[in-house]
Structure 1
Amino acid sequence: MGDRAQTPPGALSTNDINSVSLFQSINDWWTTSSALMKPTENTPAYQTARIKNLLIEYDLYMAILSDDIKINKPGELPKYTQDGIIVGSFKDTELEDGNFIHEFNLENRHGAPSETIVIMHGYMAASGYFVKNFEALVKSKPGSRLHVIDMPGFGNSSRPRFPSELLQNYPDKYNQINQVLGVENWFIDKFEQWRIANSIDKFKLISHSMGAYLSCCYLAKYNFNQVSEFLVVSPMGTESNYTSLLNSKDLQVNHHELGGRPLEELVQQQSENGEVHDNDELTKLWESLGRPKFPENLVLKKLWEWKISPFQLLQLFGPMFSKFLSLWSYQRFRNLKDSNGETNHDLLLKLHYYSYSIFNQYQGSGELAITKLINHEILPKLPLCDRQIAEFFTENKIKTLWLYGEKDWMNFKGGEYIYKKLKELGADAEFKIVENAGHHIYLDNPEEFNKIALNFFDL
């Protein structure tokens, strides 16, 4: 461990194998610690299992990041402390309620501290999926600082049991609205505690999907000129719609647009030239397993009503969970390259292990929030454009870029509507669609994503 990835002689290419073996899948399930499958408790068994997960994360970063990045190994005393280098470290920030937010941070120590960039992932994701963006961002300017966090209840952050009062069903609109606000606050109050604990006063913000929605809510509640530039990546919850609890009829200009298919990414792959498209073989497999027909599907609707997350469902497959997940990860990110610019089976295996390590944990935490923020059609209960978010960004002089992938399943019409409203109000706003990219734009087409981000942040 600790050496940069080298393609071994005779290594299998990405075309040779399309998933882990059945034996490996059973072994992954058998060796998963039960301490990770329940609400986080600071026990020796949990700490041992968590260090194992952090080493999986470490291995992924070591394989993809170049030799210019010096990474301190989790569970050991810092090895790299000197100036004049770029240092990566793993950190847990304890919160007021005893939980913690996990992050991977990078410091460009070639100069005095300058720009600070914070990245927040989306649903069914974690901080490690931004690994192809770390280097470009932190190298952009001497003194740059990068914080890539796992949201509370996701990734390698602590996973407390999600509050039962935030999952109840209320008949009246007043309590429904307050419940959604309570769910939002469960995340954004913790993020603000993290910011204060780390003494971050000014920062540029990149957020994706559910993280982008929550970031908008965070800025509306807590922004006191800390954030002036916000890269909004394929945000959830933008469009006004028939299910809106705010019911602002004059803003429901695109309520006829149904939301995207939330599991569409599971049946997509990348071709040799990097294009994202449907994988017929995976589609057939998914359908044979009972793939919901989106968006109008009774099964998915019931899962939402019963507050069951997609990975809770997949965990029911037990020894086959790793196998099914690898069928997706091997194909979906088949063009991921290591520090030598090579794509090989060993690298895909590292990405798969990372995905399995974060998805096969306790699912009764932050994942359940999605069932209260949106309905099963990916339509928000409190749409951002019903909440005067464009007016807020304009008044607070927050520069925004609304970014979607060409093959993105997320409905771009809501983001486009907010962008046009911002322009009408005279705000500094942009709207772009990235070619050869699905919902995970930053990982599907990292070169273009990095170029856009650096240009937007004037780095």
Structure 2
Amino acid sequence: MSTAQGSSATATATATSVPSQSSVLASDNKLSQSTTTKTTKTTESRPKKVNEFNDGREKPHYTWGQSWKDWIKQSWSSNYDNSTIESRLLSQLPFYPESDGKRRASVVNTDIGNGQFIHEFYIENIEKDETPDICKEIVLVHGYAASLGLFIDNFDSLSSIPGTKIHAIDILGFGLSSRPKFPNLASSSKQDIYKVEDWFIDPLETWRQKRGINKFVLMGHSFGGYLSCAYALKYNKTITTPLTGLQSNLIDKLVLISPVGVERNKYSFLKKESNPRISLEQEVLADQEDIVEGKPLEEPPKTRTRQLFDYMWEKNYSPFSIIRNSGPVKSKLISRWTTHRFAHVYYHDQQSFQNMHDYIYRIFNGKGSGEYAITRVLAVGALAKLPLIDRCPKRFVDMKLPTLWIYGDKDWMNDEAGLEMTNEINDLSIDEYSKKLASFKIIKNAGHHLYLDNPPDFARVIFKFLNLK
């Protein structure tokens, strides 16, 4: 796949030194030791969640025969290379590859050095911008083991506002970006975790500079949300607009879409409270009076399956290595996810479903790279070793950075932690500026991939937060 270098950046930021992770570490240490909040506990009764994997949706059946056919085509047909399959998926949009007169789009591979590149789908709305004072340049970051194509149902709506520019990227080590060998990094200290984060966010900053992006809205889903927060903590800064001379943040607003790694937990290197969140398994098995009275609870005995899972997690095994070595079974394994996630597409348009399934096949079977970071940054149970809630509130308030924390009503991610994060940020911002900086929203009829499950409501919430509609 050829790599066309992206445009060079124009220097517009005020001269500031790049922050070191040691300075960030010192800041996190200070915050974890001294920051206090006045967060009000939410007492209203919240409806019990319906698990998105048991919500009654009818899943299509992907046959073993089809899996064999996919393996043959994907392995030997020239019509099933990465760029062809991605183009087939993106061509479902009304403005790609040909413009619809209002928007134009292109695939860009930006050289970031060391023989590596960041893959991007760029969309620009070329209609007259009636509100040039509102930032409409959006950088969209996917989640773990995902890629930019998963936002296929959002590109049309998000690019509908005149003047909008969408940069949907594959982060280094995922999707169709370069997949260098992931280094054998340790994960036993704060400094170790920062090195893992830097492996992703430093190339992201290089890409931003190469693309000449100087003020933007950063949106990240799941692990991409976690990395977006890490990027903001390290790289957000004050910039000066060349034409007006006005100062603003590099990141105008930050949108976290069901981010992982928010909540405090027992695995944290930033211990801040003595009573970590009670696990679902403990809550079911424990005496409820003990929970109410705050008595310590015993961990339930681990099953052999759980012990094996924990062992594999701690040894940094990747489930995608199993898929990559499954031969003709690959497509059948992948269909377990695609037939659930895209069941609605299958029953509406089987060819569109197949386009997405083929695309996911390529993504999941790519060379192992960034996927090996997850077990270093997160402990068993997808709990962050450096929880965002102990890193972000005061720093985001000091930056005056508006944030939106958004979840699905069937989301398996911990939305209560997102609400707590919102409250902690707002407690601090009200004290400091007499206004709220954080917003929290739940999207109905949606799970962890809420942008896929309910694109119209997702777009409405985003537009409202960005003051676009």
Same fold (TM over 0.5): yes
Q: What is the correspondence of 1:36-435 to structure 2 with a 5 Å cutoff?
A: 52-63=81-92, 65=93, 67=94, 69-71=95-97, 84-111=101-128, 115-140=136-161, 142-164=162-184, 166=185, 168=186, 170=188, 176-224=189-237, 225-249=249-273, 254-257=276-279, 297-336=306-345, 343-363=348-368, 365-387=369-391, 389-425=392-428, 426=430, 427-435=436-444
Q: Does structure 1 retain, via aligned residues, the 8 Å contact 2:217–2:254? A: yes
Aligned-partner residue type, residue 121 of structure 1 = H
Shift of 1:439: 0.4
Distance 2:437 2:303 in 1: 36
1:439/1:16 CA distance change after superposition, 3 Å: closer
1:436/1:145 CA distance change after superposition, 3 Å: same
Aligned-partner residue type, residue 203 of structure 1 = F
Query: TM-score when scaled to structure 1?
Result: 0.75
1:295/1:195 CA distance change after superposition, 3 Å: farther
User: Please, which runs of 5 or more residues in structure 2 have no aligned partner?
Assistant: 1-56, 238-248, 282-301, 431-435
Distance 1:30 1:115 in 2: 43
Question: 1:270: which partner in 2?
Answer: none
Question: 2:46: which partner in 1?
Answer: none
Aligned-partner residue type, residue 255 of structure 1 = R
Higher Cα radius of gyration: 2
1:209/1:169 CA distance change after superposition, 3 Å: closer
Q: Does structure 2 retain, via aligned residues, the 8 Å contact 1:84–1:111? A: no
Distance 1:128 1:294 in 2: 37
Shift of 1:102: 0.4
Question: 2:51: which partner in 1?
Answer: none
User: Please, which runs of 5 or more residues in structure 1 have no aligned partner?
Assistant: 1-14, 35-44, 73-79, 171-175, 260-292
Q: Does structure 2 retain, via aligned residues, the 8 Å contact 1:87–1:109? A: yes
Distance 2:164 2:187 in 1: 45
Q: Does structure 2 retain, via aligned residues, the 8 Å contact 1:127–1:150? A: yes
Shift of 1:347: 1.4
1:99/1:19 CA distance change after superposition, 3 Å: farther
SS at match of 1:335: helix
Question: 1:12: which partner in 2?
Answer: none
SS at match of 1:256: coil
Q: Does structure 1 retain, via aligned residues, the 8 Å contact 2:140–2:219? A: yes
Shift of 1:357: 1.1
1:208/1:395 CA distance change after superposition, 3 Å: same
Distance 1:151 1:402 in 2: 21
Query: TM-score when scaled to structure 2?
Result: 0.74
Shift of 1:316: 3.5
Question: 1:436: which partner in 2?
Answer: 445
Q: Does structure 1 retain, via aligned residues, the 8 Å contact 2:254–2:404? A: yes
Percent of aligned positions that are identical: 39
Shift of 1:254: 4.9
Shift of 1:26: 2.1
Q: Does structure 2 retain, via aligned residues, the 8 Å contact 1:18–1:327? A: no
